[in-house]
Amino acid sequence: MPGEPIFKFEYQKGSPWRHENLIASFDFAIQKTDVEIENEKLEKLKKLTPYFKLDTAVNNSLLKAIRHDLLIALDTFNTLENNTLNRLTSEFDNILKTGILQRSVDSYEILEGKMEIAQITGNISVKIQVNQLYSEKSAYNYFTGILTQVLQEDPELQEKTINLDITKYIKANLEYDTETTQKQIEEIESFISTTQGMVQAGERIILNGEIVDAEKFNILESLKTSYKKKQGEGFNKYMITAGKSLLIIILLTLVFIFLYFYRKDILNHFRRLTF
């Protein structure tokens, strides 16, 4: 459009600026490069705590099952064996509350480099250290070790629990919460600014003969973007004005048609006034 600002400069990164000294004629924001935005995003995502849901229904079912089988195996009227029952179920409950993953921690890409997870139970979220989490295999090994230790303290119990199948009670109860984690990712991305400072009107951008380094190149690219934006705004204003003018012309035409067919007396009156 006539009178609109036009960006008419050509330049290359690493080459001298071959035009006159360039001074900013208006304020504009310096845009971050795509690489800078992506690096900032990755840096922030490193600090993201992934969310996992704890299945309390699984917990209750497994705890109930192992307690039931231990009650049958042990003589709980015996104080010592009753203490053993309570100790084993307490240890097993702690494993369940910490969380059991189906696979090893290393096999989860989302946990790579993470120190902790956010464990969701209902509406409550608690932080759990990643190195404390169990896989089904490590939970089995850990509880088997506890059971062996307890039975060694009372050899008579070994015969009573010889048919106890620990694998029946080991089941994953932690599941990656994709939806909640994705919401956190989107929130992080929404707060990443695409700009990094401003150039004020009247500020020197680059001098004739000065090398267009990476910083200057980015400022020039930002200036070019600002010119295009202003041109777009000017075009939009032009279209709005043209649209309003067209609407007025259509309305006047409709009025004229109405007067011509239905109120020629008014039309003749206007003609007499005009001439």
Average pLDDT over residues 220-246: 71
- Write the single-letter amino acid at 194: T
Cα–Cα nearest to 161, from 96, 85, 95: 85
Q: How confident is the model at residue 153 (pLDDT cuts 50, 70, 90)?
A: confident
Identify the residue whose tokens are 């935005």. 37
Pinpoint the alpha helices (H) of 74-164.
Answer: 79-98, 136-153, 156-160
Tens of pLDDT, residue by residue over 41-68, are: 999 999 999 999 999 999 999 999 999 8
CA atoms of 136 and 36, how far apart (whole Å): 41
Q: What is the pLDDT of residue 85?
A: 85
Contact indicator for 113, 120 with CB cutoff of 8 Å: no
Residue 244's pLDDT is 75
Helix (H) or strand (E) holding 221: helix 214-262
Residue recorded with tokens 């795509």: 34
The three-state secondary structure class of 48 is: coil
Distant-in-sequence contacts of 64-70, Cβ < 8 A, 24+ apart: 65/168, 65/169, 66/92, 66/168, 66/169, 69/164, 69/168, 70/161, 70/164
Reply yes or no on whether the pLDDT at 27 is more than 80. Answer: yes
pLDDT at 256 over 90: no
Tokens linked to 20: 């006159």
**pLDDT on residue 150:** 84
- Kindly report the CA angle at 126 between 122 and 132, in degrees rounded to 5? 120
Over range 137-148, report the average pLDDT: 94
Stretch 33-48: mean pLDDT, rounded? 92
Assess whether pLDDT exceeds 90 at residue 73. no
What angle, rounded to 10 degrees, do the helices at 34-46 and 178-190 form?
A: 130
Cβ(159)–Cβ(151) below 8 Å: no
Mean pLDDT of the 197-204 span: 92
Across residues 242-268, what is the average pLDDT?
Answer: 73
* Separation of alpha carbons 108 and 165, rounded Å: 28
Instruction: Summarize the confidence of residues 88-104 as an average pLDDT.
Output: 95
Task: List CB contacts of 222: < 8 A, sequence separation 6 or more.
Answer: 28, 29, 30, 31, 199
What count of other Cβ atoms lies within 10 Å of the Cβ of residue 225? 14
Q: What residues form DSSP beta bridges with 31?
A: 195
Q: Could you tell me the two tokens for 270?
A: 């206007």
Between 189 and 272, the higher pLDDT residue: 189
